[in-house]
Chain A
Amino acid sequence: MSFGSSRNSGSANRSRPGRTLFILLFLTAALFATAFGIGATSINLGLDLRGGTSVTLQPRVQTGDSGTVTAEAIDQAVSIIRQRVDSLGIAESEVTAEGSGTNRQIVIAVPGETGRRIVELVGQTAELRFRQVLVETGGVSTPTDGELIAGLNLSPEEQSAFTTLDCTATDLNITSVTEDPAKNLITCDRSGGVRYVLAPAKVVGIDVESATAAIDPASASGWFVSLDFTGEGSKKFGELTQAVVNLPTPQNQVAIVLDGAVVSAPRINEAILGGRAQITGSFSQLEAQDLANVLKYGSLPLAFDRGEVQQVSPTLGSDQLRAGLLAGGLGLALVIIYSILYYRALSIAVIGSLALAAAQVILSLFILGRTVGFTLTLAGIAGTIVAIGITADSFIVYFERIRDEMRDGKPLRVAVETGWVRARRTIVVADLVSGISAVVLYVVSVGSVRGFAFTLGLTTIIDLLIIFFFTKPLVSLMAKSKYLQNGGRFSGVSARSVGIANPDVPKVEEKI
Chain B
Amino acid sequence: MKISGLGGRLYRGESSLNIIGGKRKWYSLSLAFIILAGFALGFKGVELSIEFKGGSSFTVTAPSGTIAQAENAVRSAGYLGETRAQTIGEDKIRIQTGVIEQSQSNLIQDSLARSFGVTVESIDTQNVGPSWGEEISRKALQGLVAFLIIVMIYLALAFEPKMAIAAIVALIHDVFITVGIYAAVGFEVSPSTVIGFLTILGYSLYDTVVVFDKVRENTRFITATGKYTYSQAANLAVNQTIVRSLNTSLIALLPVAAILFVGSGLLGAGTLKDLSLALFIGLIAGTYSSIFIASPVLAQLREREPAIKALNQRVMARGGAPLAQGQRVQRKRDKRKKR
Contact = CB atoms under 8 A, between A and B. Distances in A.
A326 B266 contact: yes
A275 interface: no
A199 B87 CA distance: 51
Given A305-B129, A309-B102, A334-B255, A382 B275 contact: yes
Given A426-B209, A429-B209, A499-B6, A512 B103 contact: no
A433 interface: yes
Nearest to A406: B8
A323 interface: yes
B293 to A, nearest CB: 17
A443 interface: yes
Given A396-B244, A440-B150, A498-B4, A171 B103 contact: yes
A436 B154 contact: yes
A448 to B, nearest CB: 7
B9 A499 contact: yes
B39 interface: no
Contacts of A441: 143, 195, 198-199
Contacts of B105: 309
Contact of A332 (B6, B213, B255): B255
Q: From DSSP, what is the main secondary structure of chain B's interface residues?
A: helix
Contacts, number: 279
A446 B150 contact: no
A444 B140 CA distance: 6
Nearest to A4: B217
A294 interface: no
Place the interface of chain A in its size category: 35 or more
B263 A323 contact: yes
Interface stretch (A28-36, A37-45, A312-320, A473-481): A312-320
Given A48-B271, A326-B266, A441-B143, A309 B125 contact: yes
A48 to B, nearest CB: 7
Interface stretch (B68-76, B245-253, B299-307): B245-253
A306 to B, nearest CB: 5
B279 A171 contact: no
Contacts of B192: 379, 449
A488 interface: no
A338 B206 CA distance: 21
A119 interface: yes
A430 B251 contact: no
B interface bracket (residues with beta carbon within 8 Å of A):
35 or more
Contacts of B61: 313, 315-316
Contact of B143 (A307, A308, A338, A443): A443
8 pairs of A and B residues whose beta carbons are closest in the complex:
A499-B8, A437-B202, A331-B255, A444-B143, A389-B252, A173-B103, A331-B258, A327-B262
Interface of B: 1, 4-9, 11-14, 51, 59, 61, 101-103, 105-107, 120-129, 131-132, 135-136, 139-140, 142-143, 146-147, 150-151, 154, 158, 191-192, 195, 198-199, 201-203, 205-206, 209-210, 213, 217-218, 220-222, 225, 227-228, 233, 236, 240, 243-244, 247-248, 250-259, 261-263, 266-267, 270-272, 275-276, 279, 335, 338
15 contacts: A116-B106, A176-B102, A309-B127, A313-B61, A315-B61, A330-B258, A382-B272, A392-B248, A393-B251, A396-B247, A422-B217, A446-B135, A449-B191, A498-B8, A499-B5
